[in-house]
């Protein structure tokens, strides 16, 4: 496993060196936010669904998801970091 990580590190460093530092920084920030937010929100939802006997956590989850800050971050991350495939013609 360590050998694979070292190989991957070398490939990523070589690839990143061919782009401007600011672009690499932006991509790392976007990727990091996606990696962090997705599992955290999934865990938050799972906990609220598991604790069905309490209403407080359901309200908190709804408040977070409905907040302007969360909606803005989710929209920007989805718009910038998602791959948009063209619709196939049938």
Give a yes or no: residue 25 inside a domain: yes
Structural domain span for residue 10: 2-81
Span 23-27, average pLDDT: 83
**Residue in 42, 39, 34 with CA at minimum distance from that of residue 83:** 34
Q: How many other CB atoms are found less than 10 A from the CB of residue 41?
A: 15
Taking the whole predicted model, whether its pTM rises above 0.85 is answered as no
Give a yes or no: residue 86 inside a domain: no
Give the chain's domain count: 1
- Look at the block and give the residue holding tokens 């920084």: 25
Give a yes or no: residue 13 inside a domain: yes
Model pLDDT, residue 25: 84
Asked if residue 64 lies in contact with residue 70, where contact means CB atoms within 8 angstroms, the answer is: yes
In the numeric block, which tokens belong to residue 5? 């990580």
Instruction: Inform me whether the pLDDT recorded for 84 exceeds 70.
Output: no
Q: In this predicted model, what pLDDT tens digit does every residue of 26-81 receive, in sequence order?
A: 888 888 888 888 888 889 889 888 988 888 888 999 999 999 998 888 888 877 77
Give a yes or no: residue 40 inside a domain: yes
Give a yes or no: residue 88 inside a domain: no
Model pLDDT, residue 88: 67
């Amino acid at each position: 496993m360590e050998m694979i990580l070292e190989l991957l590190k070398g490939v990523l460093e070589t690839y990143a060196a061919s782009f401007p530092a600011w672009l690499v920084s932006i991509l790392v920030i976007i990727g990091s936010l996606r990696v962090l937010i997705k599992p955290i929100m999934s865990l938050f939802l799972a906990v609220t669904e598991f604790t069905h006997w309490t209403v407080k956590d359901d309200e908190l989850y709804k408040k977070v998801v409905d907040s302007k800050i969360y909606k803005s971050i989710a929209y920007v991350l989805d718009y910038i970091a998602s791959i948009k495939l063209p619709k196939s013609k049938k």
